[in-house]
Structure 1
């Protein structure tokens, strides 16, 4: 069995996750009680440190965070687990990600619906693509998968699975928002920022 993080490391990760959620809230990527965010605390058996559901992510404190097991049960903390915890688990298990971030920005919400019929949103030629792991030149095309929104999490997980190779960075859910991930919380936040930037560029470019 893999050991749980030492207390001092766990406390640092809790503080880092709170700082991340506050930054994303300040950027208006998770207004209201939207968005959900997780960091892997332990892999075998899986434990995810998560922001609780149904709360303002800009007001979270360290003690508000919850720990969720592999059957999406809260094993530490008193908050409510998001139904979308199953999506976080799928991403972690299929990509070896260490953190998963889900936002509800306007560009992600609008463009995901516009491109649902295509099943993907293609982005190419922008310098900021180089902020994504594995991308070394602006002369690159990425295809961000777009899956239909679904209130049945089992079906939504099934829709995610074909799009979760280890080298992927994110998935759009139509009319809903963006999921992004990375090997660490810092990597996940960077990928989220880059993808959100590219989505905003695409939205503005389409209107130009």
Structure 2
């Protein structure tokens, strides 16, 4: 692989000492340290079981990406893929990505979520994107039915933890939260176009639900993305319970 030129870093060759230095830091909030820690927490929540799900973070000109092919609760900093945010071509299904650093451990692969993470980075200027296989998200899309194009709920306290578009001001208790729903595909990366279209159609959406699959959530910081993922999962869970109880999701009932 050819060297990559990065502002502030110079030319970096994948698998070189300079590339390895990108995942070595004593800072607990460095992406290479944070991603494994968060994946362990998400595993405990049942969000990333069976190697599914993931998280990506931007740091300056770099994007740190949790790998596929490894148990998410066992990810280490040296398992990280590092990519330049300024790719030679916009990531899409089947496209070739530019890498600054690839892990030396055999069996690891770049996540198929990569082009979907880029949707959040480019369309919302997000700095972090989280993908979970939460059962609450999956069950909600099933209860709403195949014809449902979005999930709407109002008059719930946890709505206040969600931001307009995922990156703007926080919603209020009386606001109606709406999250679009897209149909699942056989391969994760084939969701790229429908996710991008839903983000355009619903500019205030802070997440995208994928029927029978899970959810993508993003934010202007990793803390915000995590907070919104937690608040949304709470809302998905309570919505499932309300629907099963025959209660409407909107209005002060």
Please classify the TM superposition score into its range, dividing by the shorter chain length: 0.7 to 0.9
Aligned counterpart in structure 2 of residue 77 of structure 1, from 102, 106, 111: 102
Judged with a 3 Å threshold, the aligned counterparts in structure 2 of structure 1 residues 60 and 7 are, in CA distance, closer, same or farther, namely closer
Gap change, CA 1:6 and 1:68, over 3 Å in 2 = closer
RMSD over aligned Cα atoms: 2.4
Q: Does residue 124 in structure 1 map to residue 138 in structure 2?
A: no
Distance, in Å, in 2 between the alignment partners of 1:152 and 1:35 is 13
**2:186 maps to which of 151, 164, 180:** 151
Q: Does 1:96 align with 2:125?
A: yes
Counterpart residue number, 2:33:
15
Q: Distance in 1 between matches of 2:147 and 2:97?
A: 31
Question: Matched residues in 1 for 2:187 and 2:68: separation?
Answer: 17
Whether 1:49 aligns to 2:67 is: no
2:198 is aligned, of 163, 169, 173, to 163
The corresponding residue for 1:40 is: 58
- The structure where helix makes up a greater share of residues is 1
8 Å contact from structure 1 (residues 25, 58) kept in 2: yes
* Cα displacement (A) at 1:114: 3.5
Q: How many residues align?
A: 205
1:201 to 222, 238, 244: 238
Task: Tell me the secondary structure at the aligned position of residue 118 of structure 1.
Answer: coil
Q: 2: distance between equivalents of 1:75 and 1:39?
A: 15
CA spacing shift, 1:6–1:15, aligned 2, 3 Å: closer
Higher-Rg member (1/2): 2
Deviations for 1:147-203, whole angstroms, at most 9, x for unmatched residues?
A: 011235665222112332564311001100010000111111011001111001101
Shift of 1:54: 2.0
Q: Could you list the runs of 5+ residues in structure 2 that have no partner in the other structure? A: 1-5, 10-21, 88-95, 164-168, 246-253
CA distance in 1 between partners of 2:160 and 2:81 (Å)? 34
TM-score of the superposed pair, with normalisation by structure 2: 0.73
- Measured in 2, the distance between the counterparts of 1:92 and 1:151 equals 24
The structural deviation recorded for 1:7 is 7.2
Q: Deviations 1:90-119 (Å, cap 9, x if unpaired)?
A: 111110000000000111112123334211
Rounded Cα–Cα distance in structure 2 between residues aligned with 1:56 and 1:193: 21
Q: After alignment, is 47-56 or 166-175 more displaced?
A: 166-175
> Where does structure 1 lack aligned partners over 5 or more consecutive residues?
none
Q: Does 1:172 align with 2:224?
A: no
Q: Which moved more, 1:58-67 or 1:195-204?
A: 58-67
- What is the DSSP-based 3-state SS (H/G/I as helix, E as strand, rest coil) of the residue aligned with 1:39? strand
Of 182, 185, 189 in structure 1, the residue corresponding to residue 226 of structure 2 is 189
